[in-house]
Structures are given as structure tokens and as C-alpha cells.
Amino acid sequence: MAVHNRVIIGTEYGRVEGTREDGQYVFKGIPYAAAPVGRLRWHAPQPPEPWNGVRPALEFGPVAPQNPMLGMEAMADFAVTEPQDEDCLYLNIWTPAADKARRPVMVWIHGGAFIIGSGSQEMFRGNTLVNRGDIVLVTINYRLGALGFMNLNEITRGRVPATGCEGLLDQIAALDWIRENIEAFGGDPDNITVFGESAGAMSIGDLLGMPAAKGKFRKAILESGGAATVGLLEDSVDTASRFLDILTLKGTDANPLYSLTVQQILSAQQKLNAVLHEKDNRLTPFQPVVDGMVMPEIPIHAIEKGAATGIPTLAGTNLDEFRLFNAMDRSFRKMDEAGMVRRLEAIIPTEHLPDVVTAYRRGRSQRGEDTGAGELLTAIQSDYMFRIPVLRLVEAQCRNRQPAYNYLFTWKSPVMKGKLGACHTLEIGFVFGNYDERFCGAGPAADALSHKMQDAWIAFARTGNPGCESLGSWEPYGERRNVMVLDKECRLETAPYEEERRVWDNFEMPVTKPI
């Protein structure tokens, strides 16, 4: 029922009132699960409580508790300015019309290293994706950091049953809510595409391999994230032990853990961050955990065995992913060969490290690119963390004869006179049509790239094939290693940057250590 700029929709839990903004109906802050507070802290999400009357969905809900990440203050569109609360399991819906027209549904899972972010960041508001594609867009919050990705089950002997996958279970609960209710908002519950970036894409990679997520979505778009950034159980127990040590708590009594304030948890998380950054140069101590129950095995292994059969996949990366992180690192400015080797020894088996460095130096030299220590390190880090895990996922889907498409985003940011290159997160603004001149650039070329990417993402959500009129035909990755290069001139290339890619075939890395 629509009255002027307001509309009221019935859900399984009660009626909600949305409003019309920028030619779309918007519903903000709808609870998709019960508040994970009190004795529900560190538990799997529970269904939301029904309500009587009409619930206003006019303001975004609180976001997951989080500390600001070092260096992100310069990126206004990614800033999290909304109120924070443990009661954070809310979703937001943008739709052209609440008319039961069964449009494709695109569910965005935000990134942020599993410790920051929300579904209501500025980048997603006022998007042009919905009206351009006649699709329904949903964004979600999920628990982050110690509250969403810390395994406490082992160290507390089950007194606190946190598996380290609660954030993923939140995402699954949101998908359940969407499948139950989205038709009333104009969406098709049988045509749901999950898409996300960085930790959001890595979450999707996990969902592709998790039994609990089976049948919850039909297609997957992964931007800068694969299915290998997970923690092993023994490592997660060590992380939890360090966390409890900071708080001078023991795992034998659950009550003190449930009694902690959110600020105490965030403070301990910040201290743990500092310890691990000093020890391993890591930005985050938390990631989903292969606990043997919720996540029975490393997701890429499950996908290789066919867990993602029936789910067309579009996945890719940005050329210079790690330039963003290294720009935040003051010590990187003095990077030399010895420093490069020290950092790489922490992530690459020692016996293979010389071959990796040689391959990257040779590949860059052949293209006339800088082969200094800092440039080599950035290129290797970018591929280790993002490109190679994405390609492993795409390759696994191809071997299982599933439609799988790959892209490489090479458009360069104008920030710092172009020194950031095609860095991490840069593509998001083009997908949502909310790119800003300072970080992303502007003008006719930027407009054209955004339109092509939106059309491809929308076509994929609609049909499972990203080929479209504005971009042209897009062939699956396949044996030829077809890659769509997204830049001022978009083009389908065969096996770009093959010298560097090939060297990773010489050894296995089923788990990617988090940044």
C-alpha cells in the first residue's frame, strides 16, 4: 500500500513502512534476526521477534560494534558513522516497486577485513544499480571481529558455543529472511545473487563451501576475495587464548565473558590487533574458522569436490590490490630487498620464495614495469591475498563444469597522483554508481565504465551470464583463461599476467593468512 512517498509492506514478522528516495522505495533497518545480546551473545542467530502494528523502516539500524581501522579515515565513502550496538542484525532494501514482480535480487555482503563495515555505508546509498537494472538490492549487517569470528567453543569447553562462524551464520539467517519475504518487495526469492567485496567476497567463498548455506542463493559475484581466507581450528584457539589473556579471564567460567561490555571487548580486540600487527604485520586477528561443524572443511576443498555445483560464479580482482594497504604502512616507504624477503617469508614457503620473486621480476620486466622491492612486494601480496585465491575458485568451478567468469579491474585511482593504481575497493563505486571524483575519478570514461560494469553484474544476476550489449560477449574462464579487463577500454584477454600466475601452480596454499 503506497501513500504519497510512503509504502507499507507485510512481512512474516509484521508490517514495515518504507519511503521513496531517488526513484526507489527504500526500507531501512529491518531486523532479520533476534538481537544477539545477553545470553545470545556468541550464539547462532535466532529468528526475530514479531511485532504488532507498522514498524517504521525509515532509518538505518545500528551497525556491528567495531574499532576504526588505521588509515581508513581518508576514505569518506567507506567511513562507518552510524550508531553501533550489539543489536545489529538488520538489513536494508531498495526496490523499484513493491509490486510482486519477481525481479532479480542482489544481496550485498560488505567487506572490511571481518572487523569493520556495514550495510548502510555511504557508498551503497543513492545507488543507480537498482533503477538501471530493474533489480531489488538488499544490504545486510553481520557480527564482526571478536563477536562474530572468534572461536570460544574449545577454550571454554562448550560453555560459550562460539564456532568463529557466527558472522557467516548471520549472513545465512539474512538470506533465509530474504527468501521468505522478498517477493512482497518486488523480488524473486528463486533468483537471489549474493555479491560482495573483500571480506564480503571471502564470506561468499565460505558460503559456497558450507552445508548450512546450500540452496540459499542461485548465483555468486566475488570482488577481491576467494574461498581460502579462513582460520584453522588450532590457530583460532590460540587467538581466543590471547584475547582472554588480555582480559585476564579464564575459559572455565562463561559468566565473565557474557558480562563484558562491548567497549571491553573492542578494547581487547584493539590490543590483540596491535600484538598481531607487530608480530605478523596483520591488520586483523579474526576470520571465519574451519571448526569442523559449521564449516566442516576448508571451503575451497569443498568447492573442488562440487559443493558449489549449480551456482554460476563471477569473480575477479583489482590489479594493484595491496597498494591501498601499503600506502597506510609508514614502514613500507623504506622497503628494500631484505625487507621484502622478510615479509614474504611469513606467507610463502621458503623453498618456493626465490622462484616467486624471480617470476614477478621477470614478468614485470617484460612489460617494462618497475621491478623495485616495493613494487615486487605489492604485486606478490596482491596476488597472494586476492588474485590467486579467486583464480583457484574459478578454476575449481570450471573443472566441475560450472559457469565461471573472471575479470581484472585495471582502472587507476587519481589519488596520490595515481600511485594507488587499481587498488583494493576501487571498483565498488563503479558497481553501485556512487564513484567519487577524488578516489575513483570522474568524467565520460568513468561513466562508461560504471555503466558497463553495472550492466554486466545485472545481466549475470538475471541470467548467469555477464555478457551484455554495452560490454559485449564475455566468455567463461575455461582452459584458455579468458579474463575481462575492465578499464577505459574493456576487452576480453587470454591469460594476462601469465608469468606471475603460473609460478603459484608449483605449490599448494589451501589457506590464505589474513592481512
pLDDT band at 124 (very low <50, low <70, confident <90, very high): confident
Nearest-angstrom CA–CA distance, 168 and 328: 28
How many Å apart are CA 276 and CA 269, to the nearest integer? 11
Cell 550508531 maps to which residue? Answer: 83
Confidence of residue 253 (pLDDT cuts 50, 70, 90): confident
Rounded Cα–Cα distance for residues 314 and 221 (Å) = 5
pLDDT band at 328 (very low <50, low <70, confident <90, very high): confident
Percentage helix, strand, coil for the chain under 3-state DSSP, each rounded to 5: 40, 20, 45
> What are the residues whose beta carbons fall under 8 Å from the beta carbon of 99, sequence distance 6 or more?
186
Inter-residue contact 204 to 195 (CB < 8 Å): yes
Mean pLDDT of the chain: 94
Lookup: cell for 201: 567476497
Annotated catalytic, 198?
yes
Phi/psi-derived region of residue 60, left when phi > 0, alpha when psi is between -120 and 50, beta in every other case: beta
- What the block records as the C-alpha cell of 302 is 569443498
Q: How many CB atoms lie within 10 A of CB 232?
A: 14
φ, ψ for residue 84 (rounded to 5)? -110, 145
Fold of 2-290: Rossmann fold (3.40.50)
pLDDT at 450: 98
**Do the domains spanning 2-290 and 312-506 agree at the CATH topology level?**
yes
Q: Cell 589457506 belongs to which residue?
A: 511
Between strands 231-232 and 289-290, the pairing is: parallel
Which three three-digit cell numbers place residue 105?
Answer: 535480487
Is 183 catalytic? The answer is no
Residue 134 has pLDDT above 90, yes or no: yes
Please identify, in words, the CATH class of the domain defined by 312-506.
Answer: alpha beta
CA 57, 59, 60, 62 torsion-angle sign? negative
Contacts of 297 (CB under 8 A, 6+ apart): 209, 290
User: What is the helix (H) or strand (E) element at residue 363, kind and residue range?
Assistant: helix 353-366
Give the pLDDT confidence score for residue 330 in this predicted structure: 84
Assigned C-alpha cell, 118: 556495514
pTM above 0.75, yes or no: yes
Give the span between the Cα atoms of 475 and 394, in whole angstroms. 13
313/308 Cα distance (integer angstroms): 9
**Which residue do the cell numbers 560453555 mark?**
159
C-alpha–C-alpha distance, residues 341 and 489, integer Å: 36
Q: Which of 223, 321, 395, 427 is catalytic?
A: 321
| CA 244 centroid distance within chain | 28
Q: Is 21 marked active-site?
A: no
Question: Span 477-495, mean pLDDT?
Answer: 98
**Which secondary-structure segment (H or E) carries 395?**
helix 388-399
User: What is the average pLDDT across 325-332?
Assistant: 88
3-state SS record for 215-248: CCCCEEEEECCCCCCCEEHHHHHHHHHHHHHHCC
Whose cell is 574461498? That residue is: 227
Give me the pLDDT at residue 77, please.
Answer: 56
23 pLDDT higher than 80: yes
- Name the percent of the chain lying above pLDDT 70: 97
**Catalytic residue among 424, 427, 450, 500, which?**
424
Q: Which three cell numbers stand for residue 7?
A: 509504502
Taking only the tens place, the pLDDT of each residue in 378-422 is 999 999 999 999 999 999 999 999 999 999 999 999 998 899 999
Q: Which residue in the block uniquely carries the three cell numbers 623504506? A: 334
* DSSP annotation of 385: I
Q: Is the pLDDT of residue 72 over 70?
A: no
**pLDDT tier at 68, thresholds 50, 70, 90:** confident
202, 231 Cβ separation under 8 angstroms: no
Which is more confidently placed, 251 or 76? 251
Strand-pairing partners, residue 54, are: 15
Conformational region of residue 222, where left means phi above 0, alpha means psi within -120 to 50, and beta covers everything else? beta
Confidence (pLDDT) at 513: 73
118 secondary structure, DSSP code:
-
Q: Where are the domains of the chain?
A: 2-290, 312-506
pLDDT of 187 strictly over 50: yes
The one-character DSSP state at 116 is: S
Q: What is the pLDDT of residue 515?
A: 63
**Rounded CA separation 227/309 (Å):** 15
CA angle (376, 378, 381) in 5-degree steps: 105
Are 91 and 70 in contact by the 8 Å Cβ rule? The answer is no
Q: Quick check: 438 pLDDT over 70?
A: yes
Exactly one of 118, 120, 198, 203 is catalytic; name it: 198
Asked whether the beta carbons of 129 and 106 are under 8 A apart, the reply is yes
- Which has more confidence, 5 or 132? 132
pLDDT grade for 1, boundaries at 50, 70 and 90: very low
Q: Looking at the predicted structure, is the pLDDT value of residue 282 above 80?
A: no
Helix/strand/coil (H, E, C) string of 479-513? Answer: CCCEEEEECCCCEEEECCCHHHHHHHHHCCCCCCC
Residue 514 has pLDDT above 90, yes or no: no
pLDDT at 120: 94
Q: What is the DSSP letter of 112?
A: S
Q: How far apart are CA 320 and CA 109, in angstroms?
A: 22
What's phi and psi for 105, nearest 5 deg? -110, 130
- In three-state secondary structure terms, 381 is helix
**pLDDT tens for residues 492-502?**
999 999 999 99
pLDDT of residue 495: 98
**Beta-strand runs (E) in 13-157:** 14-21, 24-31, 54-56, 90-95, 103-109, 136-140
